[in-house]
Chain A
Amino acid sequence: MKVEISRRKFLQGSVALSVLGGSLASVPTLWAKEKPSSNNNIVATLCEMCVNKCAAFAYVENGIVKKLNPNPLFPKSKNMLCARGDAGIHALYDPDRLKYPMIRIGEKGSGEFKRATWDEAYEAILHGTDKFQGLKQILDEEENNRSTIGFCAGEGMGEHTYKQFMGDLLGSKNFINHSSICLQTTIAGYTLTLGAYGTTDLENANYVIMAGANRAEAILTPDTMDMFKRTRGRGLKLIVLDPRYTNTAIHADKWLGIKVGTDLAFVLALTYVVIKEVLYNKDFVEKNVDHFETYKKHILENNYTPEWAEKITGVDAHEITKIARDFMANAPRSVYYQGRRTAWSKQDFQLRRAQAIFTALGGGIDVKGGIVFGKKLYLHSHTVEAPRYTTNKRRIDRKEASIVGKNGTWIGFRNMIVEDRTPYPVRAFFSYKQNPMQSVPNVAKTKTMLEKMDLVVTIDTMPSDTVMMSDVILPECTYFEREDPVKSFGGTQPAIVLRNKVIDPMYETKAVFDILKGLSEKISRPMFDIAVKYDEHIQEEIEDSSEEDVYEDDGYNFNLAYESTQEEINEEIITSTYGEEAYETLKEKGVFYPNMDKYFKKITENEYQYYPEDKKYYTTPGGEKIDVQDTCIDEKAIAALKKNLGTRSGRVECYLSSMIRKKVDPMPVWRDELYSEAPKGMFKFITGRDAKHTQNSTTNNIMLLDVMKENYLWINKAQADEKGISYGDWVSVKSSIGEVQIKAYPTIKIIPDVVFYVHGFGSESTGLTFGYRNGASDNLIIEDTVETVFGSAAMHETVVDVRKV
């Protein structure tokens, strides 16, 4: 309706979300910076709301980002944006965003900070304050052992830049990232067995077993969206195993409510059937599988029958047999989907190995419709000269699991500090884009670790629970406000992508590149001075030349790594391999691959061709070749060609002799002692994701809270009825280490004796207006059990008690 002038003015000034048709709303000036970099513009960017980096166009009007639309050019992101990608604008304009550096003035964790300039913040990191110590004092006392500074990072396009600074320049060996609370074990299981983790070719696979991997809801990944256009009889038969009837299970031809932590028994039984009935691809096995006879003997002698598995998994033995037969009948276009998540049980390493071997028995490795490795377009990397230190001790957690890699084990690392059993003190901790206070099991222990630190520095965009435990907070700008390192994504349709800057950084935030540049200016020389004091190698070098020369020439001057801007570095990397035109394309369209102008075609509004079918990279070079244009050739015969996989033998490894001396089983084996059911009356607690939120990083995003406000406890309806629990009732969920209260969602979509709620809610940060105490935190109650091969968090080993409050 037509309203009086005064009322219209009121409406215009309030919620700036509303765009009045196609015209502009006036935006409150407190959100806009003085001079926007672009007035009206369409900028090619890459989403950072999760790990997928979907290509998007950002529409800017009068310096305000108004809308994000999918960029159809990127083969990997398949011309879509999920709810989180669409809601990215609210990460940019979140009023709770970190806006300027802050220094702690109250007790740690109290949330009392004072605003600081960048220089003051860097000063505080170097010299400390009356509340906390600085790097100078810590390193002097620790005799320049740089590993006294632990550092962690979450996944992101700036992770590499940060790692280079902390690990290569500063020299600490104590790096942990999300791998050990994410898919480290899965990747390792596949890499050690097949040579690489690979991608499941869901565009062409005909039979897929998805156990636990909830592709419709968990980090909604464009790579797997092809699957949902081929379910329901349209070409892809989907078998879902999950204690919950998820949105992925909705699409399944068969859903089996498998008991928590028993997947390995299921896979071993499938393998038993296939071996007993000789259903595997014999040619493939002969040419490409190592130690098959050993594995065959092992499977048969252990009697991993479907009947045996039924007792453990709760899945009917006839179903197991049928699935094994159907899988092989559809092979090589059959895949046991790898999975993308953290470990669930203590036996997960063997589980992933067993999955990989099982898939290989069908021959679906390195062929269309199977697990494919594809190709990656070359880009040379930006290296910095790493200075040499002899005072830096080895990482503390290297013995906390059988195999501890460069990304460490979060739980192992943290627990050593909490339990005071580190070989030397770890006194400082830097966190970039990670929120361990919500993402690592056993929140209480993470809090203790951070409390023990003499210095905690966090780099983030939002005041997360971890940020609230800081001594110094350095505000990073969001992905809209920076250009990030150019990246090459491999696969069957490889491409190179570039995140362009959409608007200039708001408030006083900076990209991590510039944050580290500023930090280098402050601490580079003081760090070297301490090194000179204690490092005999440096002292010797100085004897032969001079302090100045050693500082400048041998990599101790961190500033040299930041002489060029990120934009200049990208331009050099791109043009040196692909030329000027490729660079222009990336600046304008965000995506490039050779022959893109010829190959890329719009078929309909909803369908695009990225690479013609015969140009996709389904098989890797180095193996036997055949002319695959001949349609008379049996696919099973093509699959059986000799491969050249990335394993030591070049073949699928059933038996890993190198594991024996690490006290790890060389072949997948079921161990009863590593599995237990929940006691009667109690529940196994499982966690997972939702398509509308990204882990714990979006629970302050008003648009995403609009479609999913909070998490609920999934509990089997019959069991809820027994306990007198109805929908919306408050219940207490208690484990041996913590307790939460949450609303209940009784449903038939979860099997008995298991309860679930989505990860990421229940923040305790008072800095998050909408996130604070909204819903419940899973890691508050999840025990810090690990699978012992890599030290990854085994997140489904916790038993809980549930009662109405």
Chain B
Amino acid sequence: MNYAMSLDYQSCIDCKACEVACKEENGVQLGADKQRIWVTQIEKSIFGQPFVALHPSQCNHCLDAPCVDVCPTGSSYFAEGGIVMTDKDLCILCKGCMEACPYDARFVDDTHVAVDKCSFCYETRLVHGEVTTACQATCPTKVRLLGDIDDEESDLVKMLKERKFYVLKEEEKTVPKLFYLLPEHDDYYAMNSVDPSTTIYTWDTFKPIVEKAKAKRKPQWKKIIL
């Protein structure tokens, strides 16, 4: 099992349902500096006309995550299912992982006195066999889809075989697993919401990258103890 998520971000309307559902589900503190997930709004002016791109995002559960390597206590670890987890008891708040993460996905949870981030709702859903996340379930336009990319029959892999996609900051080589589905019928939105230097992938071209990183890191995948 290797959990990943696709985001059909062209359907996003920036209603913040996902942000609220996440905080409710996972007991995240209030505050804009305490977000497991977020929606970024990028405003531009194109020939005087306003343009807005919306990018929902969260921890990418990178297959080759730098936040794990940098952690001195093992608090940040690779877990079964390809999830990057945090063991709060072991965290000493050195914040090395927060520095190492290219996606700014981590923050300090004052109530646990530890670093926190998105866990793909493992503790509340995956552990019970429910393959969804709170953010996916609440979304009015169903932007997100969690799935197992080891399972060729899963809805997620079917989606990735149908749609082209890209990942964020691939130059960091962390092999992230948030797949942003390219808008296929709206070139204008596609061109203006994606950096021109970004590689556009298909499942055929990205799968080898996943396999390679998985081969490297899977031996380090630990069982999750809550």
Residues of A within 8 A of B (CB): 1-3, 11, 14-15, 17-22, 25, 67-70, 78-83, 85-87, 89, 216-217, 220, 222, 225, 228-229, 231-234, 245, 247-248, 250-251, 255, 604-607, 691-692, 702-704, 706-708, 747-749
A22-B127, A82-B15 known; A229+B183 contact, CB < 8 A: no
Contact of B16 among A606, A702, A707, A748 (CB under 8 A): A707
Alpha-carbon distance between A217 and B13 when the two chains are bound, in angstroms: 8
Task: Tell whether, in the assembled complex, residue B26 and residue A83 are in contact, meaning their CB atoms are under 8 Å apart.
Answer: no
Q: Across the two chains, which residue of chain B brings its CB closest to A232?
A: B186
Name the A residues within 8 Å of B30 (CB-CB).
Answer: 17, 702-703, 706
Distance from B58 Cβ to chain A, minimum over Cβ atoms (Å): 15
Q: Can you report 22 residue pairs joining A to B where beta carbons are below 8 Å apart?
A: A1-B90, A1-B112, A1-B113, A18-B29, A19-B27, A20-B27, A20-B112, A22-B226, A25-B27, A78-B140, A81-B17, A83-B17, A85-B17, A87-B20, A220-B15, A222-B140, A229-B11, A232-B183, A247-B14, A691-B13, A691-B15, A704-B20
Whether the pair B91, A1 counts as a contact (CB closer than 8 A) is yes
Closest to B25 in A: A67
Which chain B residue shows the least CB distance to A224? Answer: B140
Query: In the complex, what residue of chain B is closest to A11 when comparing beta carbons?
Result: B111
Closest beta carbon of chain A to B8's beta carbon, Å: 8
**Set A19, A80, A245, A706: member contacting B26, Cβ < 8 A:** A19
Report B128-160 residues with CB < 8 Å from chain A CB: 131-132, 134, 136-142, 145-146, 155
Task: Say whether B54 faces chain A, with CB atoms less than 8 Å apart.
Answer: yes
A1 with B24: in contact, given A22-B127, A232-B185 (CB under 8 Å)?
Answer: no
Contacts A81-B17, A225-B141, A232-B10 given: A1-B88 contact, CB under 8 Å? yes
On chain A, the residues within 8 Å of B138 by CB distance are 69-70, 80-82, 85-86
Task: Verify A15–B132 contact, CB threshold 8 A.
Answer: no
Extra pairs beyond A216-B13, A248-B13 (6, CB < 8 Å): A1-B112, A217-B15, A247-B15, A605-B132, A707-B16, A749-B43
Report how far A217 CA is from B23 CA in the complex, Å.
Answer: 21
Contact of B189 among A17, A232, A748 (CB under 8 A): A232
Cα–Cα, bound, A2→B136 (Å) = 32
Q: What is the bound-complex CA distance between A15 and B30, given in angstroms?
A: 10
Instruction: Decide yes or no whether B70 CB sits under 8 A from chain A.
Output: no
Interface size bucket, B side? 35 or more
Q: Which residue of B lies closest to A227 (CB)?
A: B141
Which residues from chain B sit less than 8 Å from chain A, CB to CB?
10-11, 13-17, 19-21, 23-32, 43, 45, 48-50, 52, 54, 88-93, 111-114, 123-124, 127, 131-132, 134, 136-142, 145-146, 155, 183-186, 189, 226
In Å, the complex CA distance between A233 and B31 comes to 37
Given B14, B23, B90, B134, which contacts A706 in the complex, CB threshold below 8 Å?
B23
Shortest C-beta distance, A28 to chain B (Å), equals 15
> B19: which of A79, A225, A707 is its contact (CB, 8 Å)?
A707
* Contact present for A22 and B123 (CB under 8 Å): yes
Q: Which residue of B lies closest to A709 (CB)?
A: B32
Complex Cα distance, B132 from A228, in Å, reads 21
The 8 closest A-B pairs by CB, nearest first: A233-B185, A19-B27, A232-B186, A691-B15, A18-B27, A216-B13, A606-B142, A86-B20
Question: How near does chain B come to A496, taking the closest CB pair, in angstroms?
Answer: 23
- Give Cα A79–Cα B146 distance, bound, in whole angstroms: 16
B residues within 8 A CB of A222? 140
